[in-house]
Structure 1
Amino acid sequence: MNFGSVRARTTLGSTVVVALVLVVTGLLVVLSLRSDLVRTADLEAEVGARRVASQIAGGVAFGDLRLPDEDEPVQVIGSRGEVVAATEDLTSVAGTRGTSPRQYDLDDDDDRADQDDLDTDDPNRGEVSTNAVFSTRDATVDGVTDEYRFAAVEATSPGGTTVLVYAGTDLTTTRNAISATVRSMLLGLPLVLLVVAAATWLVTRRALRPVEAIRGEMASITEAGDLARRVPVPDSRDEIARLAATTNRTLAALESSVEQQRRFVADASHELRNPIASLRAQLEIALEHRELLDLPGAVEDVHRLQQLTTDLLLLARMDAGEARPPASVISLTELVADELAARPDTDRVPIIVDLEEGIRVEGHPRRLARALSNLVDNAQRHAHSEVRVALRGRGDRAVLRVSDDGEGIPPADRERVFGRFVRLDDARTRDEGGAGLGLPLAREIVRSHHGTLQAVDPEVRGAVLEITLPLIPAGKAEG
């Protein structure tokens, strides 16, 4: 058995707790039982003492007193501490001889009433004191010394003689009852703890059975590498069921991520193969026929290969959660104007610019410029006659729109266009349609700036791609 397991620790912990509870409860029961038995013994002793004291108060001579048998020893102490009457076979009571009725020095910490509780004066003639003093003393009866519980009361005869009457009750029965109770508890405690430990062990095993099933299935998934499998979800609506459901959601996300990564690698390999194959073919032809070398075409292939590699590297870094460069407050108006002004004169269609002044955001200028450039390149490929770039402030957001007057994006594809290596127009060549990384890369850049990029409904025709970014208030930007 693994003592470090959850089952072992739970079993041990519950057994220890139950043991402590039983020990404390047993102690309280024994103390309560002892208190009740002693109280009963006090009552019996007091009844016996008052029965004898009543005879004395009634004028019965000491020699004619009706005393109980040896099971209830009685001793009467006179005014000078002498024994004036005693039960037959009662030899002595510890601490009573020589004690006068006026002293009451019973010397016992267990007394229920002390000297201050007794009458300060002797009872009147023919009366018995209302108080009693209780103590545990050794008494020798018929040659056998044992513990008794004694009650002491005062009585005054009609002649004015005050005596102290001791009456006792044997504590053997009390001790035997307490001992029997303690033995029963000690014998029952191991059995109870064994039952608790066994029950806890079995219940814990049953409760952890779904966890073991989850662990086994996860081990099988890891060994087989089949992320399409799922762990079993128990019918119970408890923490284990929620753990299984969360594990399945994690497996689903991992499966989706791995599948996306596989597609990404396959698409990237396919995209890289074309320019590399084209470049290789041109170089091999040039080895045999230098006059046939298409140098501009080779340079274009190298440029496309470099651009594609750069995009792939940036996407990989962003997927890995690489920290983006430190952001700063920038003028988005100036950034857009500068980026559009720096574009080459080879654009297919003119760009109409409409920028609102004073639009400031927090971000990284080069990456935001890259996102804008990708959107404009996309619009240039699809536009018929013009591309429009507009920048406005809308509430607490900066809104940058890039639109074209081309065929537009069908509503059903407005989210799919942001997938990697996605081309809606399959009839286009890869050279004309790009690699399908421009829009996904732009969206990742915008998301890293806590913004959004989406395709929205055009006012007339064509496609409209809209970037929204948190707007920096003018006062804060100036400060």
Structure 2
Amino acid sequence: MRSVPTWARPSLWGLPIRSALTAAAVVAVALAFGAVALVYVLHRSLLSELDDAATARAEDITAQLRTDAPADLDSQLVDTDQRIALVQVVDSNGQVVRSSDDEPGDAVTDIRPPVDGQPVRGVRTAAPDGGDLRITAQAARGVGGEYTVIVAATEESVEATLATVGGLLALGGPIIVIVAGFMTYGLVSLSLRSVENIRTRVSAISSADLSERVPVPAQRDGIATLARTMNDMLARLEAGHAAQHRFIADASHELRSPLTTVTAALELADARPELLDRDLVRHTLLPEALRMGLLVDDLLLLARADERGLPLRLADVDVDDVMDGEVRRFRAHADISVTAALVPVRIRGDAAQLSRVARNLLDNAIRYAAATVHVDVSRHGDRARIIVTDDGPGIAAGDRERVFERFVRLEHARERARGGSGLGLAIVAEIVAAHGGTAHIVDTEQGGTTVVVTLPVVGPNPS
């Protein structure tokens, strides 16, 4: 079986060609219907004008017959012209008593309308020469009796006009269709040129350099909107790519420190086995291994949150009990004062994740506190509020939002050996956001840092 050539398969034609052919077909159909309607209306209008002219002539003759005999009619009333082909006055016996022909002959129609009645219009009959006539007959009462005035109009002028209009339509219609097709082809090609420019630019953009943008056409149309959307997408990809690189670099840096410590200790123990004692394991290897394990757990939690959102196991949780448990744990190990004012508040949430929020907040506060940390739990309307305040160096106003980003540590934190990984508050923000709450830092008159977390009592909205 022979395959169909490409040029004969419309599905493989380009969009400009298909658009041009479609536009040409639509215009052709519209012109065809328009031409038929125009010719029909024009034909009816010309015939109506023809009948009006014949009726007017018949009425003029009828009016004069009231005072004059048929032989005395004005010659102008029985003369013919381009539209009036024949005039006859027929008496009550059917004899032609006045005619526009030199040889009257017989009446062209036997129609006899009633006296004082409406004229009969538009009756078609054949002319002696083979043409078509439209008869208007009107009864008249005059000198010498009753008459029938017959005025026959020829359709030759109507046919000539229709032939002229039809010829113009037949000549102009294809030209209009061809012009519409070429114009559509040009406009679609011009529009696709902008799309091609966008495609070319996008194909040239690589993951190594996402700073380039596609050109935005000056026209305010869908293609310009597409270009702006593409640029917005590229900006998001660039930001995500940069954030991913920063995340990998920061994670590698944070993991390198405990890994280096553990490696160095193991190398020392390998070279000098007598130094591998309980103090080395307890004060060097285990703390660094635990630190690395906690950092890996934090990274996995953030990765899951980025991929598909943080999964929550919702249940009724007493926020005051969660905070009280963490406060008691930190009191047993911290060398500073940890106080609490806890009001019973129950919400819908994930107890394990909320415990992590409490632990990170207290760990962060104790790390930078000078002497005291205070925890406050209360309820305001339909929201639970957790406030953790320390008397440390505080956080500048310009850094209060930035500290909730990943791997962000302020300069005074970097200078201290216990500066942490910079993920604690970032994890707090992720967990609180998953619960439909907010976390932010506010000013306090006593100085230090005050972190305020609000959580909806009814729990997060189901996704």
Q: Which residue of 1 aligns with 2:422?
A: 436
Q: Which residue of 1 aligns with 2:196?
A: 212
Q: Please state whether the residue corresponding to 1:320 is helix, strand or coil.
A: helix
Cα pair 2:70 2:89 within 8 Å, conserved: no
Q: Does the C-alpha gap of structure 1 residues 349 and 8 become closer, same or farther in structure 2, counting only changes over 3 Å?
A: farther
Cα pair 1:451 1:470 within 8 Å, conserved: yes
Q: Which residue of 1 aligns with 2:144?
A: 159
Q: Which of 13, 25, 36 in structure 1 is aligned with 2:45?
A: 36
Tell me how far apart the structure 1 counterparts of residues 427 and 359 of structure 2 sit (CA, whole Å): 11
What is the deviation of 1:198? Answer: 2.2
Q: Please state whether the residue corresponding to 2:127 is helix, strand or coil.
A: strand
Q: Does the C-alpha gap of structure 1 residues 407 and 52 become closer, same or farther in structure 2, counting only changes over 3 Å?
A: closer
Q: Does the C-alpha gap of structure 1 residues 390 and 93 become closer, same or farther in structure 2, counting only changes over 3 Å?
A: farther
Paired AA for residue 86 in structure 2: P
Tell me how far apart the structure 1 counterparts of residues 15 and 107 of structure 2 sit (CA, whole Å): 62
What is the deviation of 1:187? Answer: 1.3
Q: Please state whether the residue corresponding to 1:433 is helix, strand or coil.
A: coil
Paired AA for residue 417 in structure 1: V
Tell me how far apart the structure 2 counterparts of residues 28 and 414 of structure 1 sit (CA, whole Å): 76
Using the size of structure 1 for normalisation, the TM-score is: 0.81
Q: Aligned pairs, how many?
A: 439
Q: Does the C-alpha gap of structure 1 residues 370 and 73 become closer, same or farther in structure 2, counting only changes over 3 Å?
A: same
Q: Which residue of 2 aligns with 1:146?
A: 131
Paired AA for residue 309 in structure 2: E
Q: Which residue of 1 aligns with 2:155?
A: 171
Tell me how far apart the structure 1 counterparts of residues 449 and 311 of structure 2 sit (CA, whole Å): 30
1:192 paired to 2:176: yes
Q: Does the C-alpha gap of structure 1 residues 374 and 133 become closer, same or farther in structure 2, counting only changes over 3 Å?
A: same
Q: Provide the identity percentage.
A: 33
Tell me how far apart the structure 2 counterparts of residues 93 and 36 of structure 1 sit (CA, whole Å): 28
Tell me how far apart the structure 1 counterparts of residues 123 and 150 of structure 2 sit (CA, whole Å): 11
1:384 paired to 2:367: no
Q: Which residue of 1 aligns with 2:4?
A: none
Cα pair 1:374 1:442 within 8 Å, conserved: yes
Q: Does the C-alpha gap of structure 1 residues 406 and 159 become closer, same or farther in structure 2, counting only changes over 3 Å?
A: closer
1:249-268 → structure 2 map (5 Å cutoff): 249-268=232-251
What is the deviation of 1:91? Answer: 6.7
Q: Please state whether the residue corresponding to 2:131 is helix, strand or coil.
A: strand
What is the deviation of 1:415? Answer: 2.4
What is the deviation of 1:264? Answer: 0.5
Alpha carbon RMSD of aligned pairs, Å? 3.2
State which drifts further: 294-303 or 188-197: 294-303
Tell me how far apart the structure 1 counterparts of residues 71 and 346 of structure 2 sit (CA, whole Å): 118
Cα pair 1:272 1:308 within 8 Å, conserved: yes
State which drifts further: 303-312 or 275-284: 275-284
State which drifts further: 198-207 or 35-44: 198-207
1:458-473 → structure 2 map (5 Å cutoff): 458-472=444-458
What is the deviation of 1:454? Answer: 1.8
Q: Does the C-alpha gap of structure 1 residues 57 and 456 become closer, same or farther in structure 2, counting only changes over 3 Å?
A: closer
Write out per-residue CA displacement over residues 56-99 of structure 1, whole angstroms, 9 at most, x where no aligned residue: 555636799965469722345553556666534677777x24x5
Q: Please state whether the residue corresponding to 1:145 is helix, strand or coil.
A: coil
Q: Which residue of 2 aligns with 1:45?
A: 54
1:368-383 → structure 2 map (5 Å cutoff): 368-383=354-369
Tell me how far apart the structure 1 counterparts of residues 118 and 348 of structure 2 sit (CA, whole Å): 94
Q: Which residue of 2 aligns with 1:318?
A: 305
Tell me how far apart the structure 2 counterparts of residues 469 and 323 of structure 1 sit (CA, whole Å): 16
Q: Does the C-alpha gap of structure 1 residues 224 and 471 become closer, same or farther in structure 2, counting only changes over 3 Å?
A: closer
Tell me how far apart the structure 2 counterparts of residues 93 and 433 of structure 1 sit (CA, whole Å): 124
1:11-410 → structure 2 map (5 Å cutoff): 11-12=20-21, 14-50=23-59, 53=62, 57-58=66-67, 60=69, 67-68=78-79, 72-79=85-92, 87-88=101-102, 96-97=109-110, 99=111, 101=112, 104=113, 119=114, 122=115, 129=116, 131-141=118-128, 144-160=129-145, 162-221=146-205, 223=206, 225-293=208-276, 294-296=280-282, 297-343=284-330, 345-357=332-344, 359-410=345-396
Q: Does the C-alpha gap of structure 1 residues 334 and 9 become closer, same or farther in structure 2, counting only changes over 3 Å?
A: farther
Q: Which residue of 1 aligns with 2:3?
A: none
Q: Which consecutive residues of structure 1, in runs of 5 or more, have no partner in the other structure? A: 105-118, 123-128, 474-479
Write out per-residue CA displacement over residues 378-425 of structure 1, whole angstroms, 9 at most, x where no aligned residue: 122112222211112234432211122222223332223222222223
Tell me how far apart the structure 2 counterparts of residues 340 and 224 of structure 1 sit (CA, whole Å): 47
Q: Please state whether the residue corresponding to 1:454 is helix, strand or coil.
A: strand
What is the deviation of 1:343? Answer: 4.4
Q: Does the C-alpha gap of structure 1 residues 457 and 341 become closer, same or farther in structure 2, counting only changes over 3 Å?
A: same
Paired AA for residue 361 in structure 2: L
Tell me how far apart the structure 2 counterparts of residues 338 and 166 of structure 1 sit (CA, whole Å): 119
What is the deviation of 1:265? Answer: 0.9
Q: Which consecutive residues of structure 2, in runs of 5 or more, have no partner in the other structure? A: 1-6
Cα pair 2:198 2:214 within 8 Å, conserved: yes
Cα pair 1:389 1:400 within 8 Å, conserved: yes
